[in-house]
Amino acid sequence: MDRIRIVGGERLKGTIRISGAKNAALPLMIASLLTDETLTLHGMPRLADVALLARILGNHGVDVTIAGKRAGQDTNDGQTYKLTAAEIVDTTAPYEMVARMRASFWVLAPLLARCGEAKVSLPGGCAIGTRPVDLHLVALEALGADIELDAGYVIAKAPKGLKGNRIHLAKVSVGATHNALMAAVLAEGDTEIVNAAREPEVGDLAACLVAMGAKIEGIGTSTLQVQGVSSLHGAEHRVLPDRIETGTYAMAAAITGGDIFLEGARAELLQEALEALRSTGVEVYEETGGLRVCRNGHGLEAVSVETQPFPGFPTDLQAQLMALMCTAKGVSEVRETIFENRFMHVQELARLGARIDLRGDTALVHGVNGLRGAPVMATDLRASVSLIIAGLAAQGETTIGRVYHLDRGFDRLEEKLRNCGAQIDRIAG
């Protein structure tokens, strides 16, 4: 099993090109099931999850071609995926596929909307909480689907098609909003999705669906109005830049006292996180074509944050901020309100010398004068990159195991950091 080795203490300086957002790329790929024409997606990140989803979609009959994947080709602008679901050959998504990646559960809605039936395994993914699918099923039932749970599978049927209706999501859920939206665009009549997630990735999916011929209003708000159409057509769409990658590299620059230009980053996608970063004493400002993040000489100040749905502080940056606060002056308070098991990185940060007290859903991070390199183990995607951030600042050598988590969500992480001066490499295992 591969490991990543870091010799800490280097100040990061240079330019990092921000890749397309994983959390946008996956639902965009799934949207290809809604039409028999070709959906072309530009700026796709090179990630294990994207490659896995391509194989899952292939099982349903989607033909996938990829440009920009050969050795020697320019990697800065991502890959272009052409997805064509001319014919759906199988409406079943088996356990062995869906259990490997939670987002693949979202094939449920487009398969049901287009084919009138779907059988999809209950999902897997990172072990960061229960994340029930009840909201997804309630949304589909509101559109007239008959839902049955049998032997770990969701069996959904709508032989006469879905019917528009009012869907009120009891809790803000990105996944449930994705599923509701993809079902509603082909439902007969009008649908209103209330308490919809406002995350930029939801807006990116909606924009792509509009380019495919869907009629959607209220994009970017908590209420989406959808006028169903009989069919969608092909389209071209560019994936929006990854706000989580942006925040991650911003914090890497901050913890090392570095100066990094994040090319392609968009400030409006993560304002709350950038404000938290500024509160620590780090300089963050917009330049033409991206964001610059730097910290020169002065120490880090403690901050308090609470994870919230967009536009609040994102849960996917909680672990990274905690790593940054390990070396801040004072006590930082980090409250996790989205997932109940998302503090598994705490014990690994402690191996590097961090002082963190857990009190229910809140972590109190007591800043220390410095971290020390040690062997650590990644527990999930975002936790693994928090260990990278801490390792960049730690004295001596840090080795991180189970880095397959990183490959799921970060495009060429070692290369990008190495180009900015980090001593980081991968050890094949």
**Residue 337 sits in the same domain as residue 283:** yes
* Residue 419 known to bind ligand: no
Chain center to CA of 320: 14
* Residue 260 known to bind ligand: no
Annotated catalytic residue, options 126, 208, 294, 326: 126
**Residue 65 sits in the same domain as residue 186:** yes
**Residue 12 sits in the same domain as residue 75:** no
**Residue 82 sits in the same domain as residue 131:** yes
**Residue 12 sits in the same domain as residue 31:** no
**Residue 337 sits in the same domain as residue 408:** yes
* Residue 358 known to bind ligand: no
Pure H helices in 60-199:
95-98, 108-115, 134-142, 174-184
Tens of pLDDT, residue by residue over 371-402, are 999 999 988 777 789 999 999 999 999 999 98
Cα separation of 161 and 145, whole Å? 8
Tens of pLDDT, residue by residue over 293-337, are 999 778 999 999 999 999 999 999 999 999 999 999 999 999 999
Coil vs helix vs strand at 227: strand
Give me the pLDDT at residue 342, please.
74
* Residue 380 known to bind ligand: no
pTM of the full predicted structure?
0.94
User: Residue 374 is part of which domain span?
Assistant: 3-18+242-427
**Residue 296 sits in the same domain as residue 252:** yes
Cα separation of 353 and 284, whole Å? 28
Are 345 and 354 in contact, with CB atoms under 8 Å apart?
A: no
Annotation marks residue 208 as catalytic: no
Q: Number of folded domains in the chain?
A: 2
Give me the pLDDT at residue 341, please.
67
Q: How confident is the model at residue 355 (pLDDT cuts 50, 70, 90)?
A: very high
Q: What is the average per-residue pLDDT within 190-199?
A: 98
Give me the pLDDT at residue 225, please.
98
Coil vs helix vs strand at 9: coil
CB-CB neighbours of 74 under 10 Å: 7
Q: What is the average per-residue pLDDT within 356-361?
A: 94
277 backbone dihedrals φ, ψ, rounded to 5°: -65, -40
> For a pLDDT cut of 90, what percent of the chain falls above it?
84
pLDDT at 128 over 60: no
Q: What is the average per-residue pLDDT within 12-27?
A: 97
Q: What is the CA radius of gyration of the chain?
A: 22
* Residue 172 known to bind ligand: yes
* Residue 134 known to bind ligand: yes
pLDDT at 69 over 60: no
Tens of pLDDT, residue by residue over 209-219, are 999 999 999 99
Q: What value, to the nearest 5°, has the Cα angle with vertex 16 and ends 18 and 427?
A: 100
Check which CATH number belongs to the domain holding 285 and give it: 3.65.10.10
**Residue 134 sits in the same domain as residue 248:** no
Which of the listed residues 176, 211, 233 is the one where a domain comes to its end? 233
**Residue 276 sits in the same domain as residue 368:** yes
